[in-house]
Every structure is written in C-alpha cells, then in structure tokens.
Structure 1
Amino acid sequence: MSSVGTPLLWSSFAAFVLLAVAVDFFALNKQGAHKVSMREALVWSLIWVAVSAAFAAWMWWHLASSPDEATRALANAKLLEFTTGYLIEKALAVDNVFVFLMVFTFFSVPAEFQKRVLMIGILGAILLRAAMIFIGAWMIARFHWILYVFGAFLVFTGIKMWWAAGQEPDLESNPALRWLRRHVRVAPGYDGERLFTTVDGARVATPLALVVLLIGVVDVIFAVDSIPAIFAITTDPLIVLTSNVFAILGLRALYFLLAGMYERFHLLSYGLALVLLFIGAKMLLIDIYKIPVAVSLAVTAAILTISMLLSQLIRPSARPRSAYPFSRKANSSDGRPD
C-alpha cells in the first residue's frame, strides 16, 4: 500500500508521541490525585490540539521541501487528509467521553482517581489502534472489496446510533461487566489509586481495576467504528495512524472538558450518526464517485456545528436517570453489587 511515510516521518511521529506521553505522565505524577478543573482541562485540550497541529505542520514542511509543484500538491493533499481524519476521529471520540462518564458514575469513581484511569486507558488504546490500523491497511491492500464491508458496517452503525441517541445506556446489562463480575474477585471499596489490594490476606482487584478493564472494552468497541471511518478518507497508513493517535492523545482532557456539558450537547449523538452514515456512503461509492477529501471535511464540520447549535436551541426532553448500583453501595467481594 502506498504511503508518504519515510523512516524520518515514522521516527519523528514516534518521538512526538513518546515525548508527549512522558510529559503527560510527569505532570500526572507531580500533581498527584486531584479533581481536574474545567480550566485545566481546557488548557490541556489546547495543548494537545497544538501538538497535533505542530506535527501536521512539520509533516507538510517535510513533504513540501522540494520546489516541485507535484511534491507541494502531495504535501497539501496529505495535510488535508490528516486534518479531516483528525476531525472525524476527534468527533467520534466524543461518544467515548459520554460512555466513560457513565462508567465512572456507575462505579462512583472519585473525581481525583479518574485522571489516572484515563491515562492507562489511552496508552492501551494507542497500542490497540496501531495494531488494528496496520491489520486494516493490510486487508485493504490485499482485498479491495473489504472497503464495501467497512462502508456497509459504518452505515449500519450510523443507523443504530441514530435510533439509540437520547436513550440512557444500560451498563448493568453489559456482557463484559457481567463476565468480569463472574471471573474477577473485587474488593468492597477503593484503595486510593491502586488497582489491586489485599483483603483477608488475599490479593484482589479494586473497583478501579474493573473500571480500567471496562474502559479498555469501550475503546475496542469504538475503535471498530472509528478506524473504518478514517480509511474512507485515506488508506495511507501514516496518515491513518497519526491522525488517530493524536486524536486519542487528547481524549483525557476532552473528557474532563465535556463531562459536565453532556446535556448541553444532547443532539450531538444524532450528528455523529449522520457523520458515520456520510462516511459509510462515501466508502460504498468509492469506485463510482470519489468524494473529495475537502468535501468530506466541510460536510463533517457542518454536521457537527449544526448539531451543537441545535442542541442550544432545542431543549432536551426530560428522562429519568438510571440507577447506578455501585453509586449507592460498594460492591461485594465477588464484584456484584449488594
């Protein structure tokens, strides 16, 4: 599969990510467990956007270093692909945020512990998505028809998301949670930020360990949706991976920024559903008419902007809150709520 990726671009990308993660870990350890304020979340969100923009600018400069017009056109095209992919992945990550909020509420995770949980989850997400992207790129290179499978899946997911929008997710019936409860012995309460503790002389997981595992399961589910979406924009492994990873790196800050605004953007799920439908249709039409990347960027931005504006104009319908068993009482030692 063709790619603009060179050893220098790949190594620079790896250095960007390693440095960013190292700085994030250093800041996390220095600050210790604490509740993230809206101001801190906003600052970190802007930092991650700036880091992503810096890499994109450096990549463009590296590709456009030759005075040849064809080289400059290629650099412009790759920058547009990166920007579009980044926006789509960032938008789809919003749904992750609301599910993370539900998981944290269900398990009554103290606000000061949520930051570390998300950090662990993001590291796992980067490794998982890198593997899935390279597998997807290999499959597309070998079997062109797999694009139609991805497109049909995105259309199906978009329809499903539209019908599920506005409904309260039922975490209690989640099969992953039920499996964990049957197979993992869980302590009756939290022990700081520890994932494991000792109860009656036995080594057991804390509720925080269950949360970390569920966050990982959630990311696997959303990766199955988001990765095919980026392949509708470009099949270049470098652009697919970089736009995906940089969008994920800012997910923790995005969570704390949006966690308190769920009701303010109650129509955003409908917008995300339309984005998936559009991207799926684009993929299904790829051999009939290739929708320009600039059009994809404009349509995605317009859908998200309109859905957020309508969220401010249309009041959400009142719906009862779900009961969260872990919020009312600590779970028993076998991981089941009392």
Structure 2
Amino acid sequence: MSHELMFFGGFIIFIILMLAIDLGLFSKSDKPVSLKVAAIMSVIWVSFALGFGAILYFWGNELHNVHDFGHLREIISKHLHDVKIVENDLAASIQAYNKALTLEYLTGYVVEYALSIDNIFVMVLLFTSFGIPEKYYHKVLVWGIIGAILMRCIFIFIGAALIAKFGWILYVFGAFLVYTGVMMYINRNQEEEVDPQNHPVVKFASKYFKVTHKLDSGKFFVVENGVKYVTPLFLVLLVIEFTDLIFAVDSIPAIFSVTKDPYIVFFSNIFAVLGLRSMFFLLVNIIDKFHYLKVGLAFLLVFIGAKMLLHSYLKEWGFTTSHSLIIIVGILAISVIASLMFPKKKDYTT
C-alpha cells in the first residue's frame, strides 16, 4: 500500500505543479485565449499523458510493488488484467503486465478524451446562454476543472469499491451506457437549449444567495451596500460543475470497462480532464463542424456498454484491450472524417 500511496502522491504533486504553470499561462489577464496558445497547451497535455504511459510501460509494476510471481498473480486476478504469465520468467511476466497496464491506461485516456468533446458542446451552449464574454471563459474553466478533478477522484474510488464488493454492478453500468448511447443517437438532431432563469441549479442557488446580473470585471462575488451577491459567472460555474457530475456518471463507468484498477482509471481520467480546457479553446469556434461526433459518441457508449455486458464471453473469444482500442479509435476517426466529407447543410430559412 505504501508504494501505491507514493505513486499516487507523486502523481498528485506533478498535477498540482503543472496546473499552477498552466493557470499561470492562461490566467495572467482577462482576455480570450488565442488559438496558438490553446494548440500549444493541448500538445503539452497530450505529451504529458503519453509520457506517463511510457512510465507505466517501463515501471508500471512499481505502482503495486509487483516484484514476485505471487504478488503478480494476485494483482492480475484482483484487477482482471489481460496478462499471460510466462512461467519461470519473472522479468518477461512483469513486462507483459506493464504492457497491459499501459494499454489499459491509453485506452481509458482515449475514451475519456472523446467523451469530453460532448462536454465542450454543452460548455459552449452554457457560456452563450448565460451571456458570458469570451475573455472570462478561462477563469470559469479553471475552477470548473479543479472541481471536476475532486469529483472524479471521489467517484472513481467509490466505483472501484462497489465493483470489488458487488461484481454484478458491472452489468448495471453496461446497461446504463447502452441506454445512454441509444438515447444520445435518438436525440442527436435535437437543438439543445438552456434557460438560465429556470435552470434547476440556478433556482437552487437563488434560494441561498442573492444574485446580481452584473459581471463586475469577472468576479464570482460582489458586495453592494454591504450585501454579498453572486454574479452570472458563479452561476455558470455551478451549472458547469453540475453538468460535469452528469458526464462523470457516463465516463467513469466507461473507463471501468477497460480496466478495473482504480489507479489506472484515475490517471487516465485526470489527464483527459486536464487537457479539456485547452481542447475547449482549440475547438470552441469549430466544434459545430464535427456534427457527426454525436453519432460517433453514441456508438462508442453502446460499444463500451455492450463490452461490459458481454465481458465474460468476449474474454473466451480472445477479445483483448488492443481490440477495444482499435474499435474506439476507429469509431472516432470515422465520425470525424464523415463530418469533414459531408459538411452540415446550412439552414437558410429565416
């Protein structure tokens, strides 16, 4: 356990340092984030995620302090890793374990990053509906992502505990993901709308806070005549946190379809969340061009849910994490290519 805590603690320290640097670059002043800066930060976050994958590939066994056959078999059995032990060759067996760990991490990262794109659609809608100027986007996303990390941490380890105690809950997760995917496909062409005045989160906040419609230089709270008010910036932050809570209900079970190791789920999930803000600024002005992504994400959720429901059969048929990664990347690639090849027709009606 001490090895796990050290590995986990080192990861948290690294994330805090990188967040501090990232926020320093993005938050020097209230002005829109340029496409160039967003592209640079996206490349940096993806590079860090891939670099962490390399760490797992060479030293992944250190996560659970795996250095002998007995402990290796125990961890493989506990987390249901797709690893074939090479008898009488500990080094080869550990390398096979590290490779499997890395593949699970990368697959989980791709799944979470893909599902985050749907989050971007909603964020753009929320900012527009609440009338938030573009120069304040980054400030809201800073706190939104910090809140998302804390929520994901709680959700992931609760989910791991539930799976460890109640194995059948995987089938519940699988059925839920299939249902979510089907509903996403059915509702793919519906125009999403947000009514800031009647949103449940806004109504809830209005019961406990006094609300002002003034942005007041991008502050979350203002004081007028000795009375503290919350601004629209704080309200949209609350709605974004609530929205991420809803998305987490989909994305976290989805990654548990790839790996049952809560640390790998956490690592892949957090790296994807950390890259969400830079990806938002990279895609905010072109996200509508990828109109088939909703369809792709719907198929992705159905595939992941079906995989959870049929995991015992798939294992017997030789279906591996590598196959999952190929299918997931294939679904996303097809949806992006289809969006570019068949652009959405403009509506010229008035």
TM-score (norm 1): 0.89
- Aligned equivalents of 2:179, 2:3: Cα separation in 1: 32
- Aligned equivalents of 1:125, 1:137: Cα separation in 2: 18
- Aligned equivalents of 1:209, 1:14: Cα separation in 2: 27
Compared with structure 1, are the counterparts of its residues 87 and 320 closer, same or farther at alpha carbon in structure 2 (3 Å cutoff)? farther
Q: Which runs of 5+ in 2 are unaligned?
A: 68-89
> How far does residue 318 in structure 1 lie from its aligned partner after superposition?
4.2
Partner of 1:138: 161
Please list, as runs of the form range in 1=range in 2, the aligned pairs for 1:1-338 lying within 5 A after superposition: 6-29=4-27, 31-63=28-60, 68-172=91-195, 174-181=199-206, 183-290=208-315, 291-318=319-346
Partner secondary structure for residue 194 of structure 1: coil
- Aligned equivalents of 2:348, 2:234: Cα separation in 1: 29
Greater Cα offset, 244-253 or 161-170:
161-170
- Aligned equivalents of 1:189, 1:10: Cα separation in 2: 42
Letter in 2 for 1:255: F
> How far does residue 263 in structure 1 lie from its aligned partner after superposition?
2.0
Q: Is the 8 A contact 2:290 2:339 kept in 1?
A: yes
> How far does residue 4 in structure 1 lie from its aligned partner after superposition?
12
Partner secondary structure for residue 113 of structure 1: helix
Q: Is the 8 A contact 1:265 1:311 kept in 2?
A: yes
Greater Cα offset, 170-179 or 259-268:
170-179
Partner secondary structure for residue 167 of structure 2: coil
- Aligned equivalents of 2:38, 2:23: Cα separation in 1: 15
CA deviation string 1:169-223 (max 9, x = no partner): 1211643334344554221210112100123432100110101101101100000
Partner secondary structure for residue 152 of structure 2: helix
- Aligned equivalents of 1:181, 1:168: Cα separation in 2: 27
Partner secondary structure for residue 300 of structure 1: helix
Compared with structure 1, are the counterparts of its residues 4 and 49 closer, same or farther at alpha carbon in structure 2 (3 Å cutoff)? farther
Partner of 2:72: none
> How far does residue 140 in structure 1 lie from its aligned partner after superposition?
0.2
Greater Cα offset, 304-313 or 165-174:
165-174
Letter in 1 for 2:16: L
- Aligned equivalents of 2:199, 2:227: Cα separation in 1: 28
Partner secondary structure for residue 171 of structure 1: coil
Letter in 1 for 2:282: L
Compared with structure 1, are the counterparts of its residues 171 and 4 closer, same or farther at alpha carbon in structure 2 (3 Å cutoff)? farther
- Aligned equivalents of 1:320, 1:175: Cα separation in 2: 34
Cα RMSD for the two superposed structures: 2.1
- Aligned equivalents of 1:209, 1:149: Cα separation in 2: 35
- Aligned equivalents of 1:190, 1:62: Cα separation in 2: 49
Q: Is the 8 A contact 1:5 1:238 kept in 2?
A: no
Partner of 1:330: none
Letter in 1 for 2:322: A
